Chains A and B, each alone.
Chain A
Amino acid sequence: MSEFRTGTTVKQASSTNTNSMSTLLSGAKILLECLARENVECIFGYPGGVTLPLYDALFDSPIRHVLVRHEQNAAFEAQGYARATGKVGVCCATSGPGATNLVTGLVDAMMDSIPIVALTGQVSTKLMGTDAFQEADTFGITRSATKHNYLVKNISELPQVVHEAFYIAATGRPGPVLIDIAKDVFQGNAHYTPVAEIHLPGYKVYNEGHGGQIRRAAQMMWEAERPFIYAGGGVIAANASNELRQLVEALDAPAVCTLMGLGALPGSHPNFISLPGMHGSYAANMGITHSDLLISLGVRFDDRVTGRLAAFAPHAKVIHVDVDPSEIGKNRHADLPIVGDVKRVLPKLTAELKELEPACRAKNAAARQAWWKQIREWKEEHPLVAETSPTEIKPQHLMAEINRLSNGKAIVASDVGQHQMWCAQLIRFDEPRLWLNSGGLGTMGFGLPAAIGAQFARPDKLVFAVVGDGGFQMSIPELATIVNHALPVKIIVMNNGYLGMVRQWQTLFYNNRLSQVELSSFPDVEKLAGAYGFKGRTVESVTEMPKALEDAVSEPGPYLLNVKVSPMENVYPMVPAGGAISEMVLRPPQPVEV
């Protein structure tokens, strides 16, 4: 790990950084120079035929390369790195199969607006279009999987393209950018002078927000009797958590954070309710349903949040702040749109609120007090609390124990399924960039590699990978990467013996006809971890579970803990697909007494 901390010296190590004289360099070296100028400290990748020249150049480069065990994981590790830090993550793959293996990770980054740059090798320019060995139309395939992509056929374009890619990935609404580079570009030589500026005339970034709209928004906030704040991943992407908190406190409104936004407002903040939506809390969903002003910040009104759109916040006017103009009015009409970066807009909003406060505060004070009283009642009526049992480990109990050990501070990278929802409901995040999950695409196999990327970025942090027994088996090859780099990731498998989330839907909506969801033949984790050279253990007893978790955490290296939980537990509350969020099912049907 100490080797890694020197990553920040990359810039000094760069040979051209201090002199602007042009030097004759290979394309591969020029690429590495440009990456150094972008302060890249680490690349997650996998080599192959056409990237041989690049890997040869990497051999002498101060930039660290992490050898993954499957390219999909390279994209997820770059994402984990980016999600945990806000910096651009970088992944790399060879042409053809290497590039196509990246695609899921790119789409995932696109859906969750995560800044990564993917470098892929392409066959030599003279072979393009000839069905050459390991040729795939990466540029075409990844067109809709990226925010933007490039095909570099000429070495002279390379520096420009690399800097454009990083700029596009990191600014505005962040996202993945792919650069497909022909083998002869890596191999060619050119005089390299660092590019001083890039010019993207058609790339519009709207940051500031319209002053008049901001003022009107502040007025609407004071006029509302039942204001409600709906904050999302955009707040985290913009590093605007402090700005959000100041707004929440200035208005003193209740607030929810979406699955992508957890940690944007500290989980321990008195105004924080929970996540809203399909598996949101009663108070969150009732709050949205009854509010008269929905203050929507860096959100996209995803169907997993809104349920049936017509019944979503039916009494509310909507203020929508987003950096992406195409999100405004996409799913829900915005009564007051503000196109801008929440980082810029929220402080102005807060300032306007404070300016208007003396004149406005008293006006609706009584109504607002009643609103808070109502919210508290909803919270008390159906709180999100972890069930426990004296005889078995309830999955919720496991999450409560992880929560106890994390105490709002650990990084938790989750996979996709029931365990993800229980994590989101029951683990508190007091800071942004601690909760890493595949929200938009819902990609199984995300959790473990994301944890790896996060641990590389934050060697100081306790990192949990909380995964299902299904998703874990999609990521097993990456155990080698963990061991290679002695990453102290704590892998917690919530083992219910099923593809639990699919099983839940079959139970509830398909007459419990359990078709292809049983996961038998799960490996013995002690042997599995042992085979890779680290510790693993299975725990089945509810009395031993808390201590087993503590042991995993206190282990200096990685740990694989397989926790056998009650198999048939369902995630509640639940809004059935297409239902209104106010019509959530709160608990399993109780057995009828005869």
Chain B
Amino acid sequence: MQQIISLLLENKPGALMRVTGLIGQRGYNIESLTVARTLDATLSRMTIVVDVEAAIRAQVIKQMNKLINVLQATDVTEAPSVNREMVLLRVRAQQPSRTSILKEAEIFHARVVDSTMEGFALEVTGDPEKLDEFIDVMRSYGEIEVTRSGIVSMSLENKKLRLSPPVPTGVPQEEYALEEAE
């Protein structure tokens, strides 16, 4: 089953590689991945869709949370969340199909972003299954070309984000732990 993982991570070189490395080293394929910075430009929000065996799903999340650059990794597959994807689609469309294509596009709330004699470029967002349908419908009109963004996900739960406080330097190693306890 496909698992949707939402991560909050530091916006730093290598951070992405650490996350994808965890998945890659087990031989799992990433179905989709989106990442961009958050309101706080030092952080990124990432959504990964991956087909991981049910038995090790929790383990993978724990190991992601262990990564130094990862502030929070959450499995949102079954949690309350909104999942959306965007599709850019070009369809060859000459008369007489042009009007019916536009009608179909309207049903899916797609927008025309480019229109030429040969056809249209359409933009549509929605949940991934709806987009599959949209693509199928458009294919019935002729040759199409598609770019999908991959899922972006937002959790609807109020999860507490616990961040570690700064630590003083120049403390003898044995005392690190004591410092933290206070």
Contacts and interface: CB of A to CB of B under 8 A. Distances in A.
Contacts of A143: 14, 17-18, 21
Nearest to A195: B169
For the complex, would chain B's binding face be called helix, strand, loop or mixed by DSSP majority?
Answer: mixed
Contact of B63 (A86, A194, A326, A343): A326
Interface in A308-363: 324-326, 329-330, 341, 343-344
B34 interface: no
A208 B70 CA distance: 22
A61 to B, nearest CB: 18
Given A143-B18, A201-B71, A326-B63, A170 B173 contact: yes
B177 A194 contact: no
Contacts of A170: 173, 176
Contacts, number: 96
Contact of A325 (B14, B65, B180): B65
A144 B25 contact: yes
Interface string B69-89: 111100000000000000000
Contacts of A329: 58-59
B9 interface: yes
B64 to A, nearest CB: 9
A19 to B, nearest CB: 14
B164 interface: yes
Contact of A194 (B65, B170, B173, B176): B170
Interface string B1-36: 000000001100110011001000100000000000
For the complex, would chain A's binding face be called helix, strand, loop or mixed by DSSP majority?
Answer: loop
Interface hub of B59, B170, B176 (most chain A Cβ within 10 A): B170
Contacts of A168: 68
Interface hub of B21, B70, B71, B176 (most chain A Cβ within 10 A): B176
Interface in B130-182: 162-170, 172-174, 176-177, 180-181
B15 to A, nearest CB: 9
Interface residues of A, number: 43
A196 B170 CA distance: 8
A65 interface: no
Given A199-B166, A204-B162, A87 B173 contact: yes
B62 interface: yes
A163 B18 CA distance: 21
B164 A202 contact: yes
B103 interface: no
Nearest to A327: B62
Interface of A: 37-39, 86-88, 139-140, 143-144, 147-149, 151, 163, 166-168, 170-171, 194-205, 207-208, 239, 324-326, 329-330, 341, 343-344
24 contacts: A37-B170, A38-B173, A39-B173, A86-B173, A86-B174, A143-B17, A143-B21, A147-B68, A166-B173, A167-B176, A170-B173, A171-B177, A197-B166, A198-B167, A198-B169, A200-B167, A201-B164, A202-B67, A202-B71, A205-B180, A208-B181, A324-B66, A326-B62, A326-B63
The 5 lowest CB-CB distance pairs between A and B, nearest first, are A326-B62, A201-B163, A202-B71, A199-B166, A163-B169
